[in-house]
Each structure stands twice: as structure tokens, then as C-alpha cells.
Structure 1
């Protein structure tokens, strides 16, 4: 079963890689990054691999959080609203329009996907939402001299980004392959604490709305959005450790007594 799972994960990633490569070769790229010490950094030849890494990350982030009815769709909708505001403020109207389309698609699908779901998103739907959000961010908020930096979209997607980072840390701690599923994602841990599915989903919506609002305000009024992202990252990391999404480094896999 593990070999079959590895083969399936490999085929899925190969398909993602091919799709993203085509998109980046003939589409927009992240050309600049904000410099913490002031100004902008021109990426040059690093633009292609870094853009691919960003898009692949966002694609899989949305797939990771698609564990409860309505969770991924609602977070995508809230994130797309924030990206639309940012893209419009940068006069990237094509990206703003794409964001609005994502909002409309998500809003139309959410009533059928919310608990109890009548229609499920599936891997294909979650991967598509992640790809669309990545396309919006590279075309709108991240491309060209008017860039606001990677930190702002990371702020918008703070909830799924934190969940992904915690998943990576767990697998490194336990010596497990990245593709192997577990029951320690944030929504699983909150369910284990006694919250209902709807309560977990509404909490995730609220946190995403909060982080998205902070991101939009930061993009317009702060000269150091990366610092805001760093502080919020520490807050989310502490909260994640408190609910058991990651374990202290001195706890071994045997002591953990948990199957991944």
C-alpha cells in the first residue's frame, strides 16, 4: 500500500509540475521580491524556479486543508476577496477579475459543499482552487515593479500556510514521507478538542478573514509587511503547538505513540 501511495503521489506531482512549468514558461512570473533592508530585489534567472515553487506550494496547500466540508472552498473565497482588493489597488484589473471569478465560483459551490455536503470538492477541485489563487497572486500582487512582496499573500493564506508548515515539521520529526497522510492537521486537532465540524470551519473562516484583513491593511500602510507576517507566523506557530499539530523536538516518535 505504501508503494502504491508513493506511486500515486509521484504521478500527481508529475502532473502538477508539468502544468506549472507550462504556466510559468508562457505566463507571469515573480520578478521582484521585497528586501527586508529596503528596496526591491530583482530575481533574474531565479524568477522561474521561485515562481514554480510558489505555485506548487499554493496548489498543495489547498489540497492539504480540504479535510472538512466547505473548509477549502470558504478559505479560497475569503482569500480571493482579499487578493481582488489588492490587485485592484495595484491597477491589475485582469488579476482582480480573475479573483472575482474565483469568489463567484466558490460562493456558488459552497452551499452544496458545506456540512452536510451534497457535492465534494475532491483533489481535482482543491488543486484547481490552489492553482487559481497562485495565478492571481503571480499576475496581480507579485508581478512587476509595483510588487508588494510574497509576505502579503502569505499573510492572507496564514491558516493553510501554517497547516502546511506544521505538516512538514511533523513528517521530518517522525521520519515519514511528505505524501503520507495523517490525522494531525489543524481541523483534525480542533475536532479532537471537542469542536463540531461547523465550529471548526467557522473558526477557520474567522481566522482567514482576520489574517486577510491584516494583510490588506499592512500592504497599504506598513513599510515592512514581512515583519507583520513574521509576528503573525510566531503567533500561529505557538497556537499550533498548543493544539498538538506539532510536537516538541525532544519527543521521539515512539514516545509520541501516534500513527501518521
Structure 2
């Protein structure tokens, strides 16, 4: 039952700390601002991520042994957290946030020695990134960090998705014999769950960038811990776990590129916004939880049985692609599968008509 302790202790800390943060935010006037993209109203504190960070750091000091890797993760995570907290208070420009992300990533690579160096493909093919590994690692960590930040648009969404991802990583780490990753993942799950008591709809506090960027950073780094000298499928598993935020981020990039807008320009065409128009706030969050859990199950199933994992992945991927095309999430003109299905349907109708006509003539 040791794993339960790893969840309950940080959860209890987070439950106690979060209400204190609401008072501090109220006193300092740190509220989430309303604009065209937001869906909340009223003054809601936006530094709830502090509770997640503090609870996690305390429990890491208690339950984990310090080494170079852990030190690199905690120092880099702290830099990312500070950058997010400053942004929550004074709103940094995009390049300011990016600077914090680059520094945090370089620290975790330098101090923690964490990077993606090689990938082993089938048939004994090995790709050695060498110096390019720095750029690959930067892109991975910064990309996932911002992907988690982008889904932080509904009450409880980013926190819940992060908790599900971390629970699956903890389960996979048990199978792989990585108890260090399991412990770290469960400690962060507990810290998130304590915060979610106050963040589920209707939320009384938001995690803010200090929470979303910190969570994204830690998740991206934890996923990299198993990448050193990894196979291509091991590399694919974290991508699978993070499918919902990754798809949302790629959709945002393509959508804004096609419409001539900057990537930093906010809009209300994210996956959660589109679902909310149809299913409402609470149901949308639940649906995205289920989608994340299904992708997580696929990743876990692949480790247990490759065939089952691939079948489940194909079905889920097809459903998500069809939703993107039906909703116009990327563009009204983007519908490759629907267009192909429509052409095949028309072709089959033509063939059926020709076949029927030929039969009539023969009779």
C-alpha cells in the first residue's frame, strides 16, 4: 500500500495549501482576466499551481533520494514554475515565457543529464542524434509543456488530464521496473488531486501558468527518462499518452497558420471549446478525461499485448480524426477521410448502377 501513501500525503498538503492561496491572491489582486477566449466570470484566483508545486517539492524531499537526475528535474521545474508565476502576476510576452522554457530545459539536460540521444529501429538500425539531440530534446520538452498549457481552458481539464497521464506512466513504470518514475508520478498525481477539489467546475481557483507549465514540464521530462537508447515504440508511448494535448496543439498551429494568424494569438477553436458548444462544460471535461484514459490504456495495452494495443490505437485515432474533420477544428476544407469516403460511395453507386443496367440488358 506504499503507493497509496505517495498519493495521499501530497494530496492532503495540496488540500490545505490551496485555500490559503485563494486568500493571498485576493489580497494581492492576482485574478484570471476575462477576454474573448475565457469562459469564466467574476474574480477567480489564478495561482493555484503554487499548491501543486509546493506539495510536490516537499514530498519529493521526503520520499525520493537526491541524485543528479532528480536535482536537474527539480531545478528545471522550479525555473519553469517561477516563469509561469511571474506571467500570472505581470503577464510576460511570449518570448519571455519561451526564454524561461529554454533555460529550464537546458538545466535539466545539463544538471540532470536527460536527453534523447539515440533511437534503435527494427533490423538493427540505430539513429544517433549526437549534437542534434540538444535541439530534439528542447523541442520535445517545450512542445509538451505548451501542449499541457494550451488545454488549460476548462475547469479541471489540464489537472485531470495530467493526473490520468501520470497514473498511466506510473503503471507502465511498474511493468518496466522503474520505481523512481512510479514514485515521482504518484507524488505529482496526489498534489494535482488535492488541487482539483477546488478546481472542478465551477472552479474557485485556477492553476494558472505556474501550474500548467510546471505540470507540462515535469510530464515531458518524466517521459524522457525512459528514452535513452530507446526503441522507436518506446519513443511512441509518451506521444500516445499525450495524444489529446498534442492533437490540440498541432490543430492550433495548422489552424492559425492557414488563417494567417500568429501561433500566440488565442482563439476558441480548441478541442475543448468545440466539444463544449455541443456537450456543455462538465460533460466536455469528462469526455476528454475518457479520451485521455483510452489513449493511456492503449499505451499500457501495447506493453502487455502489441496486437491489442495497435487495434485500439487505430480505432481511437480514426474516431479523433473524424471528429476533427466534422468539427472543422483545423479548417473547413480539411476532410481527407470524409472526402475519400464520399468518393468511394459515389464510385460504388456508379458501379452498382452500371451493374444493374447490364443485368437488365442481359435479361
Which of 155, 159, 180 does residue 69 from structure 1 map onto? 155
Instruction: Quote how far apart the aligned CAs of 1:12 are.
Output: 0.8
Alignment pair present for 1:168 and 2:253: yes
Which of 196, 209, 214 does residue 280 from structure 2 map onto? 196
Aligned residues: 244
- Alignment partners' CA distance in 2, 1:228 and 1:39: 27
Instruction: Quote how far apart the aligned CAs of 1:225 are.
Output: 7.3
Alignment pair present for 1:185 and 2:242: no
Instruction: Quote how far apart the aligned CAs of 1:150 are.
Output: 2.3
- Aligned residue in 1 for 2:34: none
Equivalent residues of 1:20, 1:52 under 8 A apart? yes
TM-score, length-scaled by structure 2: 0.62
- Alignment partners' CA distance in 2, 1:12 and 1:50: 19
Equivalent residues of 1:36, 1:224 under 8 A apart? no
Alignment pair present for 1:212 and 2:296: yes
- Aligned residue in 2 for 1:13: 98
Equivalent residues of 1:59, 1:131 under 8 A apart? yes
SS at match of 2:234: coil
- Alignment partners' CA distance in 1, 2:180 and 2:171: 12
Q: Extract unaligned runs of 5+ from structure 2.
A: 1-90, 336-363
TM-score, length-scaled by structure 1: 0.84
- Alignment partners' CA distance in 1, 2:269 and 2:153: 11
Instruction: Quote how far apart the aligned CAs of 1:152 are.
Output: 0.8
Alignment pair present for 1:95 and 2:193: no
SS at match of 1:30: coil
Equivalent residues of 1:32, 1:149 under 8 A apart? no
Structure-2 change in CA distance of 1:128 and 1:121 (3 Å): same
Equivalent residues of 2:169, 2:185 under 8 A apart? yes
Instruction: Quote how far apart the aligned CAs of 1:17 are.
Output: 1.0
SS at match of 1:149: helix
- Alignment partners' CA distance in 1, 2:128 and 2:290: 35
Instruction: Quote how far apart the aligned CAs of 1:209 are.
Output: 0.6
Q: Extract unaligned runs of 5+ from structure 1.
A: 1-5, 252-260
SS at match of 2:119: strand
Query: Which 10-residue stretch deviates more, 44-53 or 204-213?
Result: 44-53
Which of 16, 28, 33 does residue 119 from structure 2 map onto? 33
Equivalent residues of 2:121, 2:231 under 8 A apart? no
Larger Rg: 2
Structure-2 change in CA distance of 1:68 and 1:161 (3 Å): same
- Aligned residue in 2 for 1:133: 219
* Aligned CA-pair RMSD: 2.7
Equivalent residues of 2:255, 2:330 under 8 A apart? yes
- Alignment partners' CA distance in 2, 1:248 and 1:126: 30
